[in-house]
Structure 1
Amino acid sequence: MEPSGANKGFFQPAPILPNQFYDDVSFRRCFKLFLPFSVITEVEAEVAALGRDVLSDEVFAWITDAERNKPYLKGSGRDAFGRLQGELVTGEGWRQLQKFGLSRGIVATGYDTPYGAFSRPLQYLRLHLWEASSANVTCPSAMQDGAAALLRKHLASRRLTETERKVFEDAYRRLISRDPSVAWTSGQWMTERSGGSDVSQTETVAVYKPEGAEGQLASKEGKIPLGPWSISGFKWFSSATDSDMTVLLARTSHGGLSTFFAPMRRHDPTAKTMTGHPKSDGTRLNGVWIQRLKNKLGTQSLPTAELVLEDMRGWLIGEEGRGIQEISTILTLTRIHNVITACGYVGRGLGIARAYARRREVGAGRGARMKLTESTLHMRTLANLTAEYHGLMLLSNFCGYLLGISEHEATPPTSALAALTPANHYIDPLLRIVVPLAKAYVCKAAVPLLYSCMESLGGVGYLVNEEQEYLNIARLYRDCCVLPIWEGTTDVLCTDMIRVLKHPQSGTRSLDALDNFIKNAYGLQTDAVKKPPEWDPVSKWSALRWYIDDKTQGDLVGEGREILWDIAELLISLLLYVDASTDGNEAAKEIFRRFVQEKFAKEKRQRDTTAEELKRDLAIVYGVEEAEAVSREISKL
């Protein structure tokens, strides 16, 4: 045997990462479950093309550039003579990824497509494919989406003045544009030093000073005026610092918190270039200065900053003192984006793990070799990961479906969707519960799932594979770790859910909404799937509801995680049941059976022969048809 060397000997063949539109069985099932056939026939080719394009060499080169050339403050925030400057510099890769997402309508799909209630499921399915290739430009997209939803709601109102309508229409037009030269992203500034998700001690102050805004423009184009409110304060955590506008909370003279819209830049004909000549665009920052950029574990390509606000000019959104109610619209959207991000990361991690398993050979004893697809233990591990991911995918996309039917009236096109569609008066209260629940449950589960995907590649998975960026699960894992934290930590969301369920006016309605959904989904009649005798979600929910009714809010908060987890797993079991009922797919039925056994049964599942178990695991991981192809590959060895 000849000795190996740096350039000779064994080299592991690189995995081939397929288009996840076709390769990800869970994605395909959600695509068919939450979209009607008429929409699928129109969009399938375009979504498949997006799945291909996000895996291009060009996109991965932009990711590497965005990670290497991190955002920074020119001159550490001051010019050569010590004047405060705060000019943010982002890398070319970051800017190109931002343009890619805008031009592909990652946000616009939810607004400018003719699919009504199904625009949202389509938007979030497309977003799922993009997330792991976006290098976090989807963070500004999330807030852009939330700002667009908030402004759309107010543009439908007759209470706006002529000037307010002009300003809001201009911003909304930009937020939903697919033209990167026109489109805006948005920030969402809530967090201050006094607390993270607790905004009750907000120290940013807004003062009504219409006289100070006379003749000042946010944009010369269209003569869009600056707002009559002067906003000053300090924001401790602000992602999307390079955004074009922001929605923020500030305290007014009435004492309560109010929501404001403010452009990031204002027109200034006296603005100068670095060398003292007039600037061609004639703009400067709108009373906002970057104190410093945050140094984070992950999401390092994303500029997150501490911001000083001094006479930032903005517009009041809604009524004074109702800031929490107004910004909750944005929180609903950003939390759904977090959930989709979590699933997008895990989906990519599993895609890499599947591709690696088909390539990697390991010892099989007595000098024999086998591929990882032949390893009963490895395939059991991937099957367990895939089954959990499938439940998370269903819950995540259910959030998108609920949002869609809350925005547009729709008739469910299939019996499966009818079983998942609550009565009209229960849609909003169910959405109010399911979104924070999914954000807490899915984002928390995604971190260990993605770690397991990284582990499945062994030492290669732990490497920061910049030279083969498509294998870089380590980067995804690092970025994924923030998802259970921002937009509300797990404990904050659990507390919020308990508060909603025990609210003296609307708590009963929220509980009734859950009751209606659980009974409706369980009532779906199908010959494709048998209901296991140990699975009785209606009875389990009834007992849990009685417990919630019987306890005070203070008593329940300490059990918030247990209660949220119980409700989430009830909902996932119903989603798995309805999904499997659509076609009786053997892998989908097996995932449902295993979930019920793990979460509802008192005894462990009875195992079949090793060969049968491997066949089922392969079907869960690769899909029934692909599993048969993998089995044929194995039989030839």
Structure 2
Amino acid sequence: MSTTGSSGADEGFFQKSPILTNQFHDDACFRRCFKREHRVSYTAALGYVLTTAVFLPADTRADAEAEVAALGQDVLADQIFAWVTDAERNQPYVRGSGRDVFGRRAGVLVTTEGWRELQNFGIAKGVVACGYDTPYGAFSRPLQFLRLHLWTASCANVGCPSAMQDGAASLLRKHLASRKLASQLSAEQRKVFEDAYRRLTSRDPTVAWTSGQWMTERPGGSDVSRTQTTAVYKPDDNVGFASKRQQLPLGPWSINGFKWFSSATDSRMAVLLAQTQNGLSTFLVPMRKHDPSATTMTGQPLTDGECLNGLHISRLKNKFGTQSLPTAELVLEDMRGWLVGQEGKGIQEISVILNLTRIHSAVAAVGGIGRGLGVARAYTLVREIGSGRGTRIRLVESPLHMRTLADMTAEYHGLMLLSIYASYTLGLAEHPLGDKAAPTPALAALTPQAKLVEPLLRVLTQLTKAYVCKASVPLMFACMESLGGIGYLLNEEAEYLNVSRIFRDMCVGPIWEGTTDVLCADFVRALKHPKGGADSLAALEEVITKASTFQGKQARPIGWDPVQRWTSIRDRIVGTSQGDLMGEGRELLWGVAEVLVSVLLYVDAATDGNLAMGDVFYRFLEGKLGVGKRARGTAKDGLSRDLAIVYGTDGLGSASRL
């Protein structure tokens, strides 16, 4: 031992490790979206009033609470983080660079055990299935995405194939559940669709499938109108079966082309776009087929062997982030598949999937922020800093640090409300509300007429994905910065602290499923559409008007007039040509998004008069809309308010005991 008092590699000060706790209990924003406490308050005019959570009815919450709380703990298990490290360190590759030893094509994709086990975990926990096999109707979707919110930061990007799996399931359900659409399916096609749907919504990892979604090609990127992949109807070809055991045919369409960005390359099926003689169309394709000549690596015959279904991996992408996710360039040569819907209606069909994947993208981004803030909160309780004259305080006692963290938490809360509201709107589109599934009074103020749900969803998915994913990148960087140099490290040794990995992966959010500009352009086109644009405008107007007049326990700030602000934006949209509006796409989308977030924050705060949520609401108005003014008070008062936002407590005394 050193006698000089000097520090060394194994001597001196070592920072105490922060303890990351279950976000279900620790995250005040999550608690408000899922499980706000029932409280009874008294007013002379109304008597006793029961306040409830915004997004979930009491019976749904009561049924699901224990299971979701357990999920919040399960995703923090050491085994989960070991799988994450394995998936990140041992990245996917193509064995033999795509050729066997004799030069024949042999594009066998190899993924690590960690990746496969994380996929199995998500499937078994029903990350996708709970959107289909639960009895909660319209509330199935917000419940599903609240669960995803807890899982996403621990999943090492298996949420990407899950998102496309969800979208494919939604598309197939549409064609199987509609009497009109189902009547257009052949007997064989129905069997194929039913089998795929069963697997896409299964909780059994030995049965379940994930799915790819292949649209992007070299000529157009997000502009699928320039798709060069082609499909030709060849029903008489003897192409065999997807599986010897199931005897399901591969499909009567022959598909040829090249897909430039294809994630979830290890999936069992995909949905893709291809040109037919009648225009751009959507196809379901099995990824594998029965191979009667298949052998083991040593040449022994396999009775139920498989090979790829007319598919060759040209190469895997080398990416800045999402490195555990196999993303490939794919050559399609006589890939067999099934037409989904009508020829020439590919955009209409694929939009069903995009609604899902864009909401998944937004929720995943906010879920990453939730984990980053969870780590930051834990760090403030153990990290000490100098405070002058030889004294030291914990970060949780620093007015500057806690003001920064409170502002970050306030922004996160608005983004989370918008994301979960988009999932609720999706739920409404799938399951119209009935008498037995009435929303809470607060949510009723945010629920459009049934006829306006689809028009609202048509623009809300674009708006939410663009606004949330773009804002989440700098917010996640702020979470890294709050940890100092530790935040910049790739903390394999303590994977739960690896916020830099989450930041790196989150940077793809504003790019995939449509870049920010692509989504803004789509937003403008949807609002100017000669058939549906007026309904989408009407849906936005109804929600903003109803929400802004919600009667609750939050006073309306002087100068805040969301209806007037919306009217100004609407008039600009209505009175200007689509071409002239395109240059203002971001300005318009951001303007509408900020009005929506402001009314969501207002309704949330007004449900129970929570002072911290009222402060969050005012901070948003000041920072984003330039209206309203918060009372600042003393430094001690400010710290108390900041702690209430960050920890969901009433002040420093409560927070310091956490």
Partner of 1:629: 654
Secondary structure in 2 aligned to 1:210? Answer: coil
Partners of 1:213 and 1:55 in 2: how far apart?
A: 50
Whether the 8 Å contact between 1:252 and 1:320 is mirrored in structure 2 is yes
Offset, 1:219: 1.9
Partners of 1:145 and 1:163 in 2: how far apart?
A: 23
Query: Aligned letter for 2:322?
Result: T
Which residue among 199, 207, 212 is the counterpart of 2:232? 207
Which residue among 529, 543, 556 is the counterpart of 1:517? 543
Partner of 1:15: 18
1:269 aligns with 2:272: no
Partner of 1:538: 563
1:615 aligns with 2:643: no
Query: Aligned letter for 2:412?
Result: Y
More off after superposition, 281-290 vs 310-319: 281-290
1:229 aligns with 2:256: no
Structure 2 residue runs without a partner (length 5+): 35-52
Partners of 2:650 and 2:198 in 1: how far apart?
A: 45
Deviations 1:439-469 (A, max 9, x none): 0000000000000000000000000000000
Offset, 1:500: 0.7
Offset, 1:412: 3.1
Secondary structure in 2 aligned to 1:235? Answer: strand
Offset, 1:631: 4.8
Whether the 8 Å contact between 1:129 and 1:344 is mirrored in structure 2 is yes
Using the size of structure 2 for normalisation, the TM-score is: 0.94
Partners of 1:239 and 1:413 in 2: how far apart?
A: 37
Whether the 8 Å contact between 2:560 and 2:627 is mirrored in structure 1 is no
Partner of 1:290: 313
Partners of 1:606 and 1:331 in 2: how far apart?
A: 43
Whether the 8 Å contact between 1:266 and 1:283 is mirrored in structure 2 is yes
Secondary structure in 2 aligned to 1:435? Answer: helix
Partner of 1:96: 117
Partners of 1:464 and 1:510 in 2: how far apart?
A: 44
Partners of 1:601 and 1:468 in 2: how far apart?
A: 41
Whether the 8 Å contact between 1:219 and 1:266 is mirrored in structure 2 is yes
Offset, 1:83: 0.9
Partners of 1:549 and 1:167 in 2: how far apart?
A: 45
Partner of 1:494: 520
RMSD over aligned Cα atoms: 1.2
Which residue among 147, 155, 160 is the counterpart of 1:134? 155
Whether the 8 Å contact between 2:222 and 2:518 is mirrored in structure 1 is yes
Query: Aligned letter for 1:537?
Result: P
Partners of 2:653 and 2:342 in 1: how far apart?
A: 61
Whether the 8 Å contact between 1:521 and 1:574 is mirrored in structure 2 is yes
Whether the 8 Å contact between 1:117 and 1:405 is mirrored in structure 2 is yes
Aligned structure 1 segments of 4 or more residues deviating by more than 6 angstroms: none
Whether the 8 Å contact between 2:20 and 2:375 is mirrored in structure 1 is yes
Structure 1 residue runs without a partner (length 5+): none
Which residue among 236, 239, 253 is the counterpart of 2:277? 253
Partners of 1:547 and 1:94 in 2: how far apart?
A: 48
Partner of 2:75: 54
Partners of 2:508 and 2:568 in 1: how far apart?
A: 34
Secondary structure in 1 aligned to 2:542? Answer: helix
1:587 aligns with 2:608: no
1:569 aligns with 2:569: no
Equivalences for 1:314-463 in 2 at 5 Å? 314-410=337-433, 411-463=437-489
Deviations 1:468-489 (A, max 9, x none): 0000001000000000000000
User: How many residue pairs get matched?
Assistant: 630
Whether the 8 Å contact between 1:213 and 1:226 is mirrored in structure 2 is no
Partners of 2:635 and 2:135 in 1: how far apart?
A: 50
Equivalences for 1:108-257 in 2 at 5 Å? 108-156=129-177, 157-213=182-238, 216-254=240-278, 256-257=279-280
Secondary structure in 2 aligned to 1:359? Answer: coil
Whether the 8 Å contact between 2:641 and 2:651 is mirrored in structure 1 is no
Which residue among 475, 485, 489 is the counterpart of 2:501? 475
Offset, 1:625: 4.8
Partners of 1:516 and 1:60 in 2: how far apart?
A: 45
Partners of 2:468 and 2:412 in 1: how far apart?
A: 9
Partners of 1:280 and 1:211 in 2: how far apart?
A: 26
Deviations 1:218-253 (A, max 9, x none): 122332111000001000000000000000000112
CA distance 1:602–1:106, shift in 2 (3 Å): closer
Offset, 1:281: 3.4
CA distance 1:213–1:326, shift in 2 (3 Å): farther
Query: Aligned letter for 2:206?
Result: S
Partners of 1:632 and 1:37 in 2: how far apart?
A: 30
More off after superposition, 188-197 vs 589-598: 589-598
Whether the 8 Å contact between 1:287 and 1:313 is mirrored in structure 2 is yes
Partner of 1:40: 61
Query: Aligned letter for 1:290?
Result: I
Secondary structure in 1 aligned to 2:523? Answer: helix
Which residue among 522, 529, 533 is the counterpart of 1:507? 533
Partners of 1:395 and 1:190 in 2: how far apart?
A: 27
Query: Aligned letter for 1:594?
Result: R
CA distance 1:279–1:290, shift in 2 (3 Å): same
Whether the 8 Å contact between 1:534 and 1:601 is mirrored in structure 2 is no
